[in-house]
Structure 1
Amino acid sequence: MWGGCWPAGPLRRSAFTRRLSVPISAPEALLTVRGLEAGYGKIGVLHGVDLHIAAGEVVTLLGPNGAGKTSLLRALSGLLPWSGGSARFGGLELRGVGPREAAQAGLVHVIEGHRVFTQISVTDNLLLAGYDLPRAERMARVEEALSFFPEIAAKRHEKGGALSGGQQQMLAVAQGLVRRPRLLMLDEPSAGLSPVLVDRVLNVVRELQARGTAVLLVEQLIEKALGAADRVYALAQGRIVLEAATSEADLPRRLERAYFGDDAVSPLEA
């Protein structure tokens, strides 16, 4: 059974050697990636990745475990060295740029898991996220970030470790919002959350889009991810195998073909 997530296991070679969609043009792309190659030491993980994201667009990145989704986000945010390719974020060339410079340019990466400081307060966690801003500006941004999550705003003076797992995930997202990102990259924000809290986080994604913020969402809950996004990329073994608008009527079938061939069961129907 799928359980709403991609299963582990080998993919058919024919599935990722052909692109199964016509590339979609994006006017005034905020992020443009061409031929990105990256990995860990001598182990290549990403192999010629191309993608684009427009300002204010929500894009979801799907794929099985080990496909390279997290590695792609790490490469874009400066946490993983590249071995080839190029990318531009606004007017900034990303290759060789570190996490601090990327974040200062407005590209913010909320990494998978509840990465919060457990021994300091919610407010101090958020203040640290804006460490390089003037204090008055930091406080204003903290209040702005908390406005998205009333659940943790009510606990602003409590230590991060006193929050539930779901509240810590909200705090991690709020840390990213303190930067007022132009592009927010979320790596599996639903991990470990109840369905109610998953919907709460995805509602924040929609609110951000309404304010003009672009979002790149890596998510295992396929239906929810597609429901929140304008477009989808599918990644398999470090290669983009599908690009499509989430409004396309035949998207479930195209996802089937991209990953498992023509005789597979749809992940959206299982």
Structure 2
Amino acid sequence: MPISESDILLDVRALESGYGKIGVLHGVSLQIRAGEMVSLLGPNGAGKTTLLRAISGLLPWSGGDIVFGGRSLKGAGPRETARAGLVHVIEGHRVFTQQTVFDNLLLACYDLPRRERDSRIEEALSYFPEIADKRKNLGGSLSGGQQQMLVVAQGLVRRPRLLMLDEPSAGLAPVLVDRVLAVAGELRRTGTAVLLVEQLVEKALEGSDRVYALAGGRVVLESEAGSPDLPRQIEQAYFGHVVG
């Protein structure tokens, strides 16, 4: 389904990026509406993490453009993108183990007005009762799953317009994967857009509106998540065949 110009929150246009002289992304384009969950799939090395790093300002780009909320992000770093409402939860990110849960969240909103910080923290913790009761505990005392919840909560204190989650299920038990993805679904219903990079394809698609697949740094699939032919298309995309 075509996306009207007024609905677009994130518009990635023919993006070229990589590491030094090594090109990874080759003309990648994708769009996300406000309040939409989009899954970004692809085999290892396809460029998924590179794309998220380029969008959030962690990685420079050599061609194309990224427009967020109607404004180009060219030249913007992670601080500027976060302030604009684009939050990136990085794969494998670790919490500050010698700081309490509350202080970990306080660090994530250090630049906000003091009167807002407590309310933002309580709002983020409301999504994760499992760690809300542990706010005075050290981050290092949490289980791996609870630490992942804390990492996501650090993103939520920013009240993002778009939350990008890179492999949130990595190293988690299935029940905790469901918990984190359920929160992503709740955010979507409150109007926050979500871009989800996930290897667990079936779980990723359960709450998604649309899906893109990358292979070799190029978009090889764009589809509605409910398309009945989607499993076959994804299989073809993973094996490097461009799907029309």
TM-score (norm 2): 0.96
1:40 aligns with 2:46: no
- The Cα of 1:254 is off from its aligned counterpart by 1.1
Q: Name the structure 1 match of 2:52.
A: 73
Question: What SS does the aligned partner of 1:71 have?
Answer: helix
- Higher RCO (CA 8 Å, separation ≥ 6 residues): 1
CA deviations on 1:203-232 (whole Å, 9 max, x unpaired) are 101100110000000000010001121100
Looking at structure 2, the residues matched to 110 and 258 of structure 1 have their Cα atoms a distance apart, in angstroms, of 26
Q: Name the structure 1 match of 2:2.
A: 25
Which stretch of structure 1 is more off in the superposition, 33-42 or 114-123? 114-123
Looking at structure 2, the residues matched to 99 and 181 of structure 1 have their Cα atoms a distance apart, in angstroms, of 13
- The Cα of 1:261 is off from its aligned counterpart by 7.0
Structure 2 alignment gaps of length 5 or more:
none
Looking at structure 1, the residues matched to 201 and 35 of structure 2 have their Cα atoms a distance apart, in angstroms, of 21
Looking at structure 2, the residues matched to 107 and 182 of structure 1 have their Cα atoms a distance apart, in angstroms, of 6
Q: Name the structure 2 match of 1:107.
A: 86
Which stretch of structure 1 is more off in the superposition, 253-262 or 233-242? 253-262
- The Cα of 1:62 is off from its aligned counterpart by 0.3
Q: Name the structure 2 match of 1:205.
A: 184
Looking at structure 2, the residues matched to 164 and 256 of structure 1 have their Cα atoms a distance apart, in angstroms, of 34
Looking at structure 1, the residues matched to 240 and 143 of structure 2 have their Cα atoms a distance apart, in angstroms, of 41
Looking at structure 1, the residues matched to 41 and 83 of structure 2 have their Cα atoms a distance apart, in angstroms, of 27
Q: Name the structure 1 match of 2:140.
A: 161
Residues 215 and 240 in structure 2, CA contact (< 8 A), matched pair in contact too: no
Looking at structure 2, the residues matched to 123 and 114 of structure 1 have their Cα atoms a distance apart, in angstroms, of 17
Residues 173, 243 of structure 1: CA spacing in aligned structure 2 closer, same or farther, 3 A cutoff?
same
Residues 114 and 168 in structure 1, CA contact (< 8 A), matched pair in contact too: no
Following TM superposition, the consecutive aligned residue runs of length 4 or more in structure 1 with deviations greater than 3 angstroms are none
- The Cα of 1:248 is off from its aligned counterpart by 0.5
- The Cα of 1:114 is off from its aligned counterpart by 3.7
- The Cα of 1:174 is off from its aligned counterpart by 0.2
Looking at structure 2, the residues matched to 115 and 74 of structure 1 have their Cα atoms a distance apart, in angstroms, of 17
Structure 1 alignment gaps of length 5 or more:
1-23, 263-270
Which of residues 221, 226, 242 in structure 2 aligns to 1:242?
221
How many equivalent residue pairs?
Answer: 239
Looking at structure 2, the residues matched to 258 and 240 of structure 1 have their Cα atoms a distance apart, in angstroms, of 9
Looking at structure 2, the residues matched to 37 and 260 of structure 1 have their Cα atoms a distance apart, in angstroms, of 22
Question: What SS does the aligned partner of 2:116 have?
Answer: helix
The one-letter code sitting in structure 2 at the alignment partner of 1:65 is: N
Residues 68 and 238 in structure 1, CA contact (< 8 A), matched pair in contact too: yes
Q: Name the structure 2 match of 1:266.
A: none
TM-score (norm 1): 0.87
Looking at structure 2, the residues matched to 236 and 247 of structure 1 have their Cα atoms a distance apart, in angstroms, of 21
CA deviations on 1:26-54 (whole Å, 9 max, x unpaired) are 23100011110000000001000000000
Question: What SS does the aligned partner of 2:35 have?
Answer: coil
Question: What SS does the aligned partner of 2:59 have?
Answer: coil
Residues 34 and 191 in structure 2, CA contact (< 8 A), matched pair in contact too: yes
Backbone CA RMSD of aligned residues: 1.1
Looking at structure 2, the residues matched to 123 and 91 of structure 1 have their Cα atoms a distance apart, in angstroms, of 34
Which stretch of structure 1 is more off in the superposition, 24-33 or 234-243? 24-33
Looking at structure 1, the residues matched to 71 and 214 of structure 2 have their Cα atoms a distance apart, in angstroms, of 25
Residues 261, 50 of structure 1: CA spacing in aligned structure 2 closer, same or farther, 3 A cutoff?
closer
Question: What SS does the aligned partner of 1:155 have?
Answer: coil
Question: What SS does the aligned partner of 2:233 have?
Answer: helix
CA deviations on 1:115-138 (whole Å, 9 max, x unpaired) are 211110000000111111111201
Question: What SS does the aligned partner of 1:117 have?
Answer: coil
Question: What SS does the aligned partner of 1:232 have?
Answer: strand
Looking at structure 1, the residues matched to 144 and 104 of structure 2 have their Cα atoms a distance apart, in angstroms, of 15
Looking at structure 1, the residues matched to 26 and 14 of structure 2 have their Cα atoms a distance apart, in angstroms, of 7
Residues 114 and 165 in structure 1, CA contact (< 8 A), matched pair in contact too: no
Q: Name the structure 2 match of 1:149.
A: 128
Residues 106 and 181 in structure 1, CA contact (< 8 A), matched pair in contact too: yes
1:253 aligns with 2:229: no
Looking at structure 2, the residues matched to 220 and 72 of structure 1 have their Cα atoms a distance apart, in angstroms, of 16
Which of residues 202, 207, 221 in structure 2 aligns to 1:228?
207
CA deviations on 1:241-266 (whole Å, 9 max, x unpaired) are 0000011001011112223278xxxx
The one-letter code sitting in structure 1 at the alignment partner of 2:41 is: L
